[in-house]
Each structure stands twice: as structure tokens, then as C-alpha cells.
Structure 1
Amino acid sequence: MNLAEFNHFCESLPCTTHVVQWGNSDVWKVGGKVFAIGSISRDEHPAFTFKTSEQNYYFLEEKPGYRPAPYLASRGMKWIQQYNCENDEDEALKYYLSASYKLVSLGLTKKMQKELGLNQPQ
């Protein structure tokens, strides 16, 4: 996945906003809370950072092409960065980005979730 594809995917999720910050990174938020960050690494490869469950965190930190997210993971947060992965990882990345979006949206206040129409009973 390249940065344009990453941005297109994140934009497709409901109620997301995009800002460029932290050294020209594409930062995606839901309800004002970050769920994904896309950037270009020092070696000119795309790098994608996302929040994950504790179980997925421990699985991914050992997988080639993934690592605990710089800065965030060192502060005890369960964030992973995908870097230097092959194209066959695109579907997995979409899954993890969607899961991050869900984790962050569930962490919003009930009032905010209702205002955004997220996580509401059908």
C-alpha cells in the first residue's frame, strides 16, 4: 500500500478527519482522536501506524515488517507500525486500520458516539 491508497482507505471510514502534522505525516482521526498515521520513513518507504488490541500487538511486534510504534509504544500504548511490507500485506493492513478505527471510536464518549452516529444499536 502506498500513502495515497492509505489515505483513500482511511477517508472511506465514517466520520474521519485528516490533518497533516508531526513532520508532514498524514494523521487520521475519528471524533478528534487519532486512529492511524501514514508517513514516509527515512529509507523512503511508507510507514503506517495504528492502535491495536493487546493480543494483536504481541502478535505483530514479532512479525517481519512490523514493530512497536516509535514514541507511542515506548509510552506503554499498544500502537504498531507497519514498515517495509510487501503488497500482499495490504488486506491485513486494511483489517488492522479498521480495527484501530473501531477501538478508537469505542473509546469516545457515548455522547460523541451518538453525535457521530457511531456504534449505535441498529
Structure 2
Amino acid sequence: MPLDHLRTFCLSLPAVSEDVKWDHDLCFSVGGKMFCVASLEPPLTFSLKVPDDQFDELLSQPGVVPAPYLARYKWVLLEEGHPLSERQVTALVRQSYDLIKGKMPKKELKAAGLL
């Protein structure tokens, strides 16, 4: 999935913000908590959170590796050339968004306009 498609999709989700961290990573957050991190420098890679039961299954795919620094929290990194379709990737990004949003306290959800 090209970076512009990923960015458009992430920003279409409710209450999402973006910022650049670590000088070269575009981070998408909901309520100040990251749910997707994309490289701004080639090759295009991006990381996202997945449910515990999907973590090992996704890692068995070529081009999907444990996300550096975040794998212990069940984040995967999709490398350029991974075999997942754009539809599968958008479903994973949406799932990551939902996982992160689901852990937010009601007070934060309300402040972000998500309740």
C-alpha cells in the first residue's frame, strides 16, 4: 500500500492525529496513543498492533516481522513487498485503531469525541 493511501485511510478514522517522530516516522494516533507508524524514507515499512492470536500467524508471512521495540506488545512491521492485499492491510490498520481505542478510558474517549 503506498504511503499516501495509508495516510488517507488513517486520517479518515475518527479523532486521528498525525505527527513525525524520531525524525523519519509518520505516526498516526488516536487519543494520543499510536496505532500505526510508517517510515517516511524508502523502503516503505509500517508497523501496527495486532491481537495476540494473530501475531504468530502474521509473522509466518514473508515480509512481516516483529516490530522493533514494540513486538513484546504484539506489533508487527510490514516490509515493502509483503504479500498482503490492500484490503487486508486496511483491515489490519482499522483493527489496530480499534485495539488502541478500546484501551482508552471513557474520559479520554469522550474528550476525543469518540463517545
Q: TM-score, normalised by structure 2?
A: 0.91
2:50 aligns with 52
- Post-superposition CA distance 1:6-41 (Å, at most 9, x none): 111110000000001113111000000000001056
How large is the Cα RMSD of the aligned pairs?
Answer: 1.7
Name structure 1 gaps, 5 residues minimum. Answer: none
Distance 2:113 2:40 in 1: 33
Give, as a single letter, the amino acid of the residue that structure 1 aligns with 2:3: L
May I ask how many residue pairs the two structures share in their alignment? 115
Distance 1:29 1:89 in 2: 23
The higher relative CO (CA closer than 8 Å, separation ≥ 6) is in: 2
Name structure 2 gaps, 5 residues minimum. Answer: none
Q: For residues 105 and 9 of structure 1, do their structure 2 counterparts lie closer, same or farther at Cα, with a shift above 3 Å needed? A: same
Q: TM-score, normalised by structure 1?
A: 0.86
Residue 115 of structure 1 deviates from its aligned partner by 2.5
2:79 aligns with 83
Q: For residues 63 and 87 of structure 1, do their structure 2 counterparts lie closer, same or farther at Cα, with a shift above 3 Å needed? A: closer
> Percent identity over the alignment?
31
